Amino acid sequence: MAAYVARHPIRSILIVIAGVALGTALFFFTRLGDLHSAVATEDFDPVRAATALAHRTPAQVEQSILELTEEQRQAFDAAAALDLSTLAIESEIAELIEQTYGRRPFVNAAAFSPELPDDMFDAYLGLGADASGSLADVVLLALAPTDGSAPILISLPRDLYVKNPCSGGWSRLNTGLGGCRGFASGTELMALMVQTYTGIEIDHVARVTFDGFAAVVEALGGTTICTDNPARDLKSGLNLPGGCAPADGYMTLAWVRSRHMEVLVDGTWRGVGGSDFARQERQRDILFQLANKVSSFGSLTSFDNTVRAVASGVRLDDGWSFADVVRTAWRYRGISDDRVKGFSVEVRNFRTSSGAQVLLPTVKFNSLLSDVYPAADR
């Protein structure tokens, strides 16, 4: 061997380089293969679900309302306390009012948008489940125009009051994650509710758990959170010293989901409110921080740790191949906030017939979308 190297030094170096490259490639694709089998998937066929829901008999609709699992009921109760805006109670009360007082059913034209061509966007729905797994704590809609225009990212308020095809009535958007037993999974029902409101057919869905989000942030090295004053939220676990400080996965999670934040001013803790829109701004900032981190893997080891964290915390629809996920993530790696369009959903506070406080859309989604993407005007 030594003699061969002495006689053919250049060839020997090329062989070593080729061997290292081949070994690296094999390692890389082996890890991708391992990850592919590790990523949890779930059935996702919103067209089938919509057909099944539309062909139910009145008795089946009533049964769907009554068949909420005890876990779902407890989740709704824990999330809303005495708030009565659940699939079952809201529908039952609305029906009772209509039968007793002869009132017309609740309608809201702004909660429906005209259907857009399916080939106009690649539409991705990102869902962050709450601790129970039955309510969506975060709802993100990402649109990639197929004409190559800038991507669009919109946070949909979890308290948005929209049509629910399971109950046939209206409910908060986040309750859709509970699904409609026997007819639509949680992700399918969420996709259908979002589609009715936006007019955009959802192509793919990714659902992230509490622990999964924290693990991804940890694998990417954490984030930086900046506040003018010390801030806390006793319910989410938020505790920040003020100024800009590094945050681990769970502190980042507490930051993006905080709804009861207080800040320390002149020695006194003061509530600053917890609107959906403030949370959306925080979520957007964190997303772009993570996108920047993804663009700079330091080694194959760090890549492996990161993708394993993603695999353990994310559930994908079964029609989204891992290769497509990798291509999508690579396409938008390191993308900055100024390269992504977006807008806020226009709403007003509204009290439902059952006394629940929700957010009522006041402008069609399509009208708002047309401002940043004129081709969507219908």
> Measured between alpha carbons, how far is 307 from 28 in angstroms, rounded to an integer?
11
Q: What is the pLDDT of residue 332?
A: 73
Q: What is the pLDDT of residue 72?
A: 55
**Residues 366, 114: contact at Cβ < 8 Å?**
yes
Do 54 and 142 fall into the same domain? yes
**Residues 156, 139: contact at Cβ < 8 Å?**
yes
Do 192 and 270 fall into the same domain? no
> Measured between alpha carbons, how far is 229 from 242 in angstroms, rounded to an integer?
4
Domain count, the chain: 3
Backbone angle region of 62, left / alpha / beta, with phi > 0 → left and psi within -120 to 50 → alpha: alpha
Q: What is the pLDDT of residue 23?
A: 46
Q: What is the pLDDT of residue 8?
A: 53
3-state secondary structure of 240: strand
Task: Give the CB-side neighbour count of residue 77, counting CA atoms within 13 A.
Answer: 7
For residue 248, the domain's CATH number is: 3.40.630.190
Output the six-digit token pair for 312.
Answer: 């353990």
For residue 96, the domain's CATH number is: 3.30.420.590
Do 170 and 303 fall into the same domain? no
Q: What is the pLDDT of residue 235?
A: 85
Q: Is residue 343 part of a domain?
A: yes
Which pTM does this prediction carry? Answer: 0.77
Residues forming beta bridges with residue 278, ordered by sequence position: none
Do 189 and 247 fall into the same domain? no
Residues forming beta bridges with residue 139, ordered by sequence position: 127
Q: What is the pLDDT of residue 128?
A: 87
CA angle centred on 138, ends 132 and 140, rounded to 5°: 140
Q: What is the pLDDT of residue 86?
A: 41
Q: Is residue 177 part of a domain?
A: yes
- Mean pLDDT, the chain cut into blocks of 10 residues (378 residues total): 54 49 43 58 91 87 66 52 41 50 67 94 91 84 94 92 87 89 92 96 90 83 93 91 94 89 92 75 86 66 62 81 68 76 91 79 95 94
Q: What is the pLDDT of residue 211?
A: 80
Do 25 and 69 fall into the same domain? no
Q: What is the pLDDT of residue 301?
A: 56
Distances (CA, A) of 244 to 166, 192, 235, 253, 333: 45, 40, 22, 16, 24
Do 184 and 264 fall into the same domain? no
Query: Could you count the other beta carbons within 10 Å of the beta carbon of residue 120?
Result: 16
Q: Is residue 6 part of a domain?
A: yes
Q: Is residue 314 part of a domain?
A: no
Chain length of the chain: 378
Do 91 and 183 fall into the same domain? yes
CB under 8 Å to 121, separation ≥6 — which residues? 143, 144, 145, 146, 200
Place of tokens 């309750």: 175
Helix (H) / strand (E) containing 81: none
Place of tokens 């259908």: 192
Q: What is the pLDDT of residue 69?
A: 52
Q: Could you tell me the residue range of the domain that residue 32 belongs to? A: 2-38
Pairing of strands 357-361, 347-351: antiparallel
Q: What is the pLDDT of residue 99?
A: 54
Q: Is residue 78 part of a domain?
A: yes
**Residues 179, 189: contact at Cβ < 8 Å?**
yes
3-state secondary structure 103-153: CCCCCCHHHCCCCCCCCCEEEEEEEEECCCCCCEEEEEEEEEECCCCCCEE
Q: Is residue 65 part of a domain?
A: yes
Q: Is residue 276 part of a domain?
A: yes
Do 34 and 45 fall into the same domain? no
| Last-in-domain residue among 274, 290, 309 | 309
Q: Is residue 88 part of a domain?
A: yes
**Residues 355, 158: contact at Cβ < 8 Å?**
no
